Amino acid sequence: MREKIDEIIEFLKSELAEDCSYYSGKVFGSMSSYPDDDVVRVFAEFIEKNAGDANIFAGTAKIENKVINLLGTFFNNPTAGGNCVSGGSEANVVGLWAARNFFKEKKNLPFLNEEYKIIVPETRHTSIAKAADLLNLKLVEVPVNNDFEVETKIVEEKISEKTIAIVGIAGNTVYGAIDNIEDLSIIALNNNCWLHVDAAFGGFAIPFLKNPPKFDFILEGVKSLVADPHKNLGSPIPNGCILFRDLDYSKHIIHHLPYFSGKKTENRTIIGTKSGAAIIATYYILNFKGIDWLKKRMKSAFENKDYLKQRLEELGFEVLGKAQLNVLAAKPPDNMRKRRNELFKKGWRIGKYGDLWRFVVMPTIRREYINELISVLEENC
């Protein structure tokens, strides 16, 4: 049997041959990476755990709570409540679902029609648009300034009695820009409005900037926050987190699973069955590898981002925005425009957004990968 499975694995590898691998060092267009070997070991050890059933996996459920408590403290609110979910998309939907139902209860409305809205930066991730679609809400998109940060004055102008929530992004997908969450928080408080922060990418990066802007629960207006361990924290997929200033903010999305074998039937997420192994791996990273490890990891990502920026600029790329986080959006010089496809054929994966090239410098990207990329770009330059 052992030989047989080895053979089958080789066969599966051949079926997967067209996949790229983060280990190759050629992937610069992804917010995911590979987990460290010790993290993989923890993940594999606990592969059977289903964090969707707290009756059978009571210990796993406790670890999920510990992850939320650790993150609450990390994001300046030790009493935050929430859940681990499948990723940033689900976390955004859950956060806005809670905001919508909270609004409905508060205003005592039997139903909401599509005139109710969420105000978002035009740079929002697709999952915010999905949330609006699923929740039957209107998406009001606000322009961004030259640094790709939302125009907060326009956000304020757009608020009405039909505004369910404002969304701010702390580390947007294409430019890595951080909206002025401090201003958005004041606007939200003044207008008695829910502020949801999408820090799926930035949550584990912003705290390690030299002068980090405030973006989390330290700001009173922030009611919900998304941060994804399966991005910069290096957890295995799937693991995103949705946190609420207080767990009570999510009480209007509770659904019960009455056929469960015990008392714990309450559910506040979209998915039911979910990977306990990913949550336990996140707990391992937060609690045992620790924040100093993360700090070192992000320091290296930021240094490599600065190095890549400098090398790209030497080649005539124009890097846009403040380029604070480990994402670079760059306009290629004319002689490079068509080269992305060539690079693609050679196995390099660089993001594309209109005419822009998008480079994500994950913490697993090493200096030699950047040198290799630059030398390929220099060929036939």
Q: Which residues of this protein are in contact with ligand 0PR, per CB under 6 A? A: 30-32, 87-89, 92, 125, 127, 169, 172-173, 198, 200-201, 228, 240
Q: Work out the number of other CB atoms within 10 angstroms of the CB of residue 320.
A: 17
Give the separation between CA 141 and CA 69, rounded to whole angstroms: 33
Query: What is the smallest separation between the CB atom of 267 and ligand 0PR, expressed in angstroms?
Result: 19
With H, G, I as helix, E, B as strand and everything else as coil, classify residue 27: strand
Give the separation between CA 92 and CA 108, rounded to whole angstroms: 24
Q: Work out the number of other CB atoms within 10 angstroms of the CB of residue 268.
A: 20
Name the residue nearer to ligand 0PR (CB basis): 54 or 304: 304
For residues 266 and 119, the answer to whether their CB atoms sit within 8 Å is no
Give the separation between CA 221 and CA 217, rounded to whole angstroms: 8
Query: What is the smallest separation between the CB atom of 279 and ligand 0PR, expressed in angstroms?
Result: 15
Query: What is the smallest separation between the CB atom of 32 and ligand 0PR, expressed in angstroms?
Result: 4
Phi, psi of 167 (to 5 degrees): -115, 130
Query: What is the smallest separation between the CB atom of 29 and ligand 0PR, expressed in angstroms?
Result: 7
Name the residue nearer to ligand 0PR (CB basis): 125 or 245: 125
Query: What is the smallest separation between the CB atom of 170 and ligand 0PR, expressed in angstroms?
Result: 8
Name the residue nearer to ligand 0PR (CB basis): 219 or 227: 227
* Sequence-ordered strand ranges (E) for the chain: 81-85, 117-121, 138-142, 163-169, 194-198, 222-227, 240-244, 255-256, 266-267, 318-319, 327-331, 351-353, 356-360
For residues 226 and 127, the answer to whether their CB atoms sit within 8 Å is no
Query: What is the smallest separation between the CB atom of 94 and ligand 0PR, expressed in angstroms?
Result: 12
Name the residue nearer to ligand 0PR (CB basis): 31 or 144: 31
DSSP string, 294-358: HHHHHHHHHHHHHHHHHHHHHTT-EE-S---SSEEEEEPPGGGTTHHHHHHHTT-B-EEETTEEE
Query: What is the smallest separation between the CB atom of 31 and ligand 0PR, expressed in angstroms?
Result: 4
Name the residue nearer to ligand 0PR (CB basis): 131 or 193: 131
For residues 61 and 83, the answer to whether their CB atoms sit within 8 Å is no
Q: Which amino acid is at 242?
A: I
Name the residue nearer to ligand 0PR (CB basis): 27 or 370: 27
Give the separation between CA 60 and CA 48, rounded to whole angstroms: 11
Name the residue nearer to ligand 0PR (CB basis): 236 or 240: 240
Strand duo 163-169 + 194-198: pairing? parallel
Name the residue nearer to ligand 0PR (CB basis): 54 or 184: 184
Give the separation between CA 82 and CA 139, rounded to whole angstroms: 25
Query: What is the smallest separation between the CB atom of 263 and ligand 0PR, expressed in angstroms?
Result: 31
Query: What is the smallest separation between the CB atom of 58 and ligand 0PR, expressed in angstroms?
Result: 27
Name the residue nearer to ligand 0PR (CB basis): 137 or 167: 167
